[in-house]
Structure 1
């Protein structure tokens, strides 16, 4: 057991009377005060180039941990080779009612129904401009505002993309969160085609292409995934992020609604990574259930080019980042 697991995690988990979201917010405020890293963590053999972006190591922070980019200088200091902020929406929104974040320690899992709570794309753009460049690549996850009907989703995403263009190394199109009503319908062929076509046209109008990735749900069938991949290939998507949280409860007993992340998701996340990497040939960022360094290695063996941590980092701390980098740095 690491020092983080033995001493720091119990303190963090007690913050706010044990309320997971309050503890998360206080931790972010503390991290925001840390000095910036002078250089990224990049041991020999860790560096790689994926969809035209240079990564000092292949282990990143997943979207959702730092939605508004409040602690961006801290994450490279903790060893992450890239950071993904968001999911951000065109309109600022409070998200779903609290409580909405629940730890399941026995399962090494978390259930959330946050609902894209964030300060909005304009606020994130202002923060990123004030912050300046990071020592690691920055991904920006885009989602649909809850107040925007499905018929206006394309314009909603494009508006956020326009505000943030030029500030991220890549953009992730989140059409797979289970916590915004109707959002997952955007994964079907017609909706996704319209969205990706509009984003590609907007990028060309703004100055040129930028890597756009699509984040997929673990709950899609192989047939539905195949149709999604056809659309992604047709519109020149740079890569895929597999997977988002799941509405299933594999081996977990909880009455809380929302998306499940953490150790129980690992088998299905690996299956989806293996499928989309083989069927598309596109670079894949593997995320879901990485709680040990060996899990990161298995993701790369399944076809992922990069990996991301979220729940595993909450339970195991910075040593997991360093261990995952060590486990993956000798792999292609």
Structure 2
């Protein structure tokens, strides 16, 4: 580690670097120099804000809550549970911390197939993926703190309201669109409220949402084409998700904000939140002769296993 102009320790890179994601010596040299430049930008590297100093190499024997998976949902769940000081929370993540290169949206495809990607593929398709080996499309999923919010296209899309209403109708109280909307708004820090329906969006939450500062002309041509077909250009995060729009992104000043950056980093100084990186939950433990979950068995990157117990719940995210 070294102390840079960010006024705190800057760690040695972990996980894949930009240079390691490409071939050819000249290109690797260029990407290596680019990474040095990126890491010198405090808003990208964010060494003072990362949760890394709170990571623990040795977990306790038991916790109130154990969250398996520090991805798009798990990072949020662990951060929210740890807001209760008397609850001790463990977050288990199979990957490491997010590389600095992923903070630049256009660089993310370089990390597809790398060590922070589970590298899934789809089943063989008869009418899609025709140029892919075995007609299987790649399906990048994040094996990293922040999960696929580190590798995705960043579009802030809440989903179809009818899906939420159907979940509620199936016997899940509190899951209708009108009931979950306040929680979407609570988590959101919309930086362009004047450009969206203010009854559906809010400021002050941990997740920044904004348009990119530039949109290619083709974007506006697509909007015009949609209107000519009879569709409306509107905010698709509302009660009607049929139409066209230029989506807002989970970003601030053009920088990616994953669930880890948005929710876990603000919680980094909570003594009741412990995070295990490069650790896989290999088994869910049940109470003998029952269906009650009592803990998990985990394996670290060196192959060492241990059992950790939950006093309240194990959450598989």
- Structure 2 length as normaliser, TM-score? 0.24
- Structure 1 length as normaliser, TM-score? 0.24
Quick one: higher RCO (CA 8 Å, sep 6+), 1 or 2? 2
Query: Which structure has the larger Rg over C-alpha atoms?
Result: 2
